[in-house]
Chain A
Amino acid sequence: MNDRQKDLLQKFAALAGLLLLVLVFSLTSEAFFTVGNGMTVALQVTSIALLGVGATCVIIAGGIDLSVGSVLALAGVLAALATKAGVPVPLAMVLGVLAGAACGALNGLLVTRAKLPPFIATLGMMLVARGIALQVTGARAVSGLGESFGQLGNGSLFRIEHIDAQGFPEVVFPGIPYPVILMAAIAIAVAVLLTRTSLGRYIHAVGSNSEAARLSGVNVDLVVLFTYVVSGALAGLTGCVLMSRLVTAQPNEGVMYELDAIAAAVIGGTSLMGGVGTISGTAIGSFVIGILRNGLNMNGVSAFTQQIIIGLVILLTVWIDQLRNRR
């Protein structure tokens, strides 16, 4: 069996696990396998998946980004404050994304220029970004943002509804939420970047053997910096989407999301040693986490038990991965 087949097998194993989850939850809960719930799950998964895509880039290049949970809060808060200050909503959200990218760039510079270990650099950023988000809002939610602020998070494409006899709107098809479209588009774009472009190849090369990459003429620092900027920008985008869904900016949003993102990547087969990982794997990993949460919720499993189960799933998948690589 060659490596390509092994990779496929690994991917199908994860996918099969995902389908098994869907099957089990469909049997245990009637409301699970419906279009409406499907969209709910997809919507819930967007934040994990967007952050997971960023995490995958950083981890393939041999780094780690612990700051995304805080950066998304900072970016969302800044977008909301800009909106309050009269900046048009789309522009305010672009500002939020740029703020995230700036945080990512700072992470990247700390890693490449100041030579800090990625764990420490992004741990520091995690505290700093959260602190700034709390500081500028006085730890209060920013509300009264107007309907247009909620458009990105709550709107959807192809929503079909008609007015029934009593004059109430009836939803035939809830539509595809904008965040889900955004997630799919970005996942595909980054997947193409990673697998089909020279930059993606360099990201893999740096993570596989950064010294060999450097001695082959790859601008290692620039490549590493790029991955952190991607991660930061996606965190910023996630922040805007999340705040938009609530139509309120919460400086306390996104706590521990970085760990979900890393877990999604790892469940999807991304190696924390660097050099190995796929976006499709991370997408599957994100859905595994999302569907577990949703399905367990529907079956009335407590949040505490959910944590235990998800923790065990992470341990199990990484252990299987270790077994596969040990040979």
Chain B
Amino acid sequence: MPVPLLRLAGICKAFAGVKALDHIDFDVRAGEVHAVCGENGAGKSTLMKIMSGVYQPDAGTIHFEGRALAFSTPRVAEVHGVVMIHQELNLVPHLSVAENIFLAREPRRGWFIDRKRLRADAQRCLDRLGVAIDPDTPVHVLPVAQQQMVEIAKALSMNAKVLIMDEPTSSLTEAETGQLFKVIHELRHDGVAIVYISHRLDEMSRIVDRVTVLRDGHWVSSGAFADTTVDRIVAQMVGRDLEDKFPPRRSHPTDETLLEVRGLARHGVFGPVDFELKRGEILGFAGLIGAGRTEVARTLFGAEAKNAGSIRFRGEELRIRSPIDAIRHGIAYVSEDRKAHGLAVKMTVAENVTLANLRAVCRPGGFIDFRAEAETAQHYIDALGIRTPGPHRVARLLSGGNQQKVVISKWLFRRARLIIFDEPTRGIDVGAKYAIYELMDQLAADGIGVILISSELPEILGLTDRVAVFHEGRLAKTLPTRATSQEEIMHHASGRDTGSSQGAAPMGLPALEPIAS
């Protein structure tokens, strides 16, 4: 058995007290492609970032070529030959291919850049990959697939021995993926070790030698890909046990249709999508990142323009052109990225709570009744158990879970009739999660429509009545939550039909299936 090129042992990493990685062991050998699998939040990205020097582990050791090392910065890792290609590519759009490949490492002649050598060296790197890209082309005119090749060429120019690729095929077409895999084969042949992260499990059989599965920051398994199956990997990723992390459901779906969406579409982004929501029901949106769940929600809320489709809400046909329209009709959206879209962090708790319904605490002439405002805020602080010294605390200083409750309070005060929760528990500790779950159940019991977008399948299974599974901008399948499993959801989310065998091309989209009521 070959000696591992890079070996990590007992790696631990915590962020703000939350364990992202717990005693992870991982190794990669020269000339192999090693896949790392896991759900969103399993710790894959954190592990990659520790390998490439972006993060420092709290505990554990890194051995490279048999020596214990510390990658204090990405630059140190690169000097040793460990190079990461991020999902969002790190290229300077207006510089040429050659300039990007040797950015900050340009060959010099005296004080000046040796342009001739720069070009020749870049050409050599591109030739090694066997791709026809002119080194003088500005990067921004290249398609994403070719930009990725430039990233790989850049890695080669650093004499990369370990190449870490985070979701390299996420924005590639089938043909482009094929070319990438050819390049990966070449590199492997040359003895480069490749760490490969992807959600597209089907692709893996084409290139992967070994696979390591992570779940909730724990190591689950490592082994030769030939010895396992995609189904077993999925089972290991999601885990079998649904822990008792969810409150009992008190609300029950009624026959009354609250929301009916037909043919909702946005060109080039998603659709057409059909679904409906009953009063008292919690509907889950599952799918991989980029499957179009957030886009559907934002379009429903008027934050993005729709190209087609009708929205019937509480028996009324709605015309929604902006969030103002949606809010007027009682639709609310708790955004995925709290700090960027949900909360005015420089403003106080009270100011955030009343922002969407300021008129309710205003006297004639638009003068704010500060006492009424503070009382309102205090009411929600008590009702939702928001931990803050008072209503005049600046929102930035609250913890993630409490910030989320402030956002929810805002919509409760606006008397929202439908609340779309987009990854509501991301970055929130376990206790606060439970409180948010209870709140969602309570809302549904009160007759408020609840849509839950979540990448955490246990959350979907523990909370929803039905789950709409999205895949590449389409609603792949709607499943009754009670009768489904994480495996089934993952199969639909990754574009595999339950019946199809391994190696099915990800192009084969399942038929569009509207929700049957």
Contact = CB atoms under 8 A, between A and B. Distances in A.
A197 B366 contact: yes
B514 interface: no
Given A197-B366, A276-B346, A205 B355 contact: yes
Interface in A218-270: 218-219
A5 to B, nearest CB: 12
A197 B355 contact: no
B291 to A, nearest CB: 21
Contacts of A3: 392-394
A115 interface: no
Given A3-B394, A196-B367, A198-B359, A219 B324 contact: yes
A217 B413 CA distance: 13
A4 interface: yes
Contact of A198 (B303, B341, B343, B366): B366
B368 A197 contact: yes
Given A198-B359, A205-B355, A217-B324, A211 B367 contact: no
Contact of B351 (A205, A217, A276): A205
Contacts of B356: 216-217
A4 B350 CA distance: 14
In this complex, the member of A201, A204, A216, A275 whose beta carbon has the largest number of chain B beta carbons within 10 angstroms is A216
A62 B377 CA distance: 26
Contact of B346 (A2, A197, A208): A208
Contacts of B342: 212, 215
A201 B394 contact: no
Given A198-B362, A198-B366, A201-B358, A215 B324 contact: no
A208 B347 CA distance: 7
Contacts of A162: none
B344 A205 contact: yes
B323 interface: yes
A143 B107 CA distance: 66
B366 A205 contact: no
A306 to B, nearest CB: 34
Nearest to A207: B346
A213 interface: yes
A215 B322 CA distance: 9
A199 interface: yes
A205 B335 contact: no
B365 to A, nearest CB: 8
B279 interface: no
Chain B interface size band reads 20 to 34
A196 to B, nearest CB: 5
Interface string B134-161: 0000000000000000000000000000
Contact of B347 (A198, A199, A275): A275
A213 B342 CA distance: 8
B368 A196 contact: yes
A214 interface: yes
Nearest to A199: B366
Contact of A208 (B333, B345, B392): B345
**Contact residues of B: prevailing secondary structure:** mixed
Interface string A127-160: 0000000000000000000000000000000000
Contacts of A217: 323-324, 327-328, 356, 414
A275 B359 CA distance: 20
B499 to A, nearest CB: 41
Contacts of A197: 362, 365-368
B437 interface: no
Contact of B355 (A2, A201, A211, A276): A201
B377 to A, nearest CB: 13
A215 B368 contact: no
B405 interface: no
Of the listed residues B335, B347, B359, B394, the one surrounded by the most CB atoms of chain A closer than 10 A to its CB is B347
B303 A215 contact: yes
A26 interface: no
Contacts of B358: 198, 201-202
A275 B335 contact: no
B410 to A, nearest CB: 7
Contacts of A4: 392
A99 to B, nearest CB: 27
A196 B410 CA distance: 20
Interface string B334-354: 010000111111110001000
Given A198-B359, A213-B355, A219-B324, A204 B347 contact: yes
Contacts of B366: 197-199
B397 to A, nearest CB: 8
B26 interface: no
A215 B340 CA distance: 11
B358 to A, nearest CB: 4
Interface in B393-437: 393-394, 410, 414
B323 to A, nearest CB: 5
A275 B344 contact: yes
Nearest to A273: B346
A204 B346 CA distance: 9
Contacts of B365: 197
A213 B333 CA distance: 12
B301 interface: yes
B419 to A, nearest CB: 13
A216 B393 CA distance: 20
Nearest to A205: B344
A196 B327 CA distance: 24
Contacts of B355: 201, 205, 212-213, 216, 218
B323 A275 contact: no
8 contacts: A2-B393, A197-B362, A209-B344, A209-B345, A212-B343, A215-B301, A216-B327, A217-B324
Pairs of residues from A and B, 6 with the lowest C-beta to C-beta distance, nearest first: A217-B327, A208-B344, A216-B356, A208-B346, A197-B366, A209-B344
Given A204-B347, A214-B323, 10 more contacts: A197-B365, A201-B355, A201-B358, A212-B341, A213-B344, A215-B301, A216-B356, A216-B410, A217-B328, A275-B344
Interface of A: 2-4, 196-199, 201-202, 204-205, 208-209, 211-219, 275-276
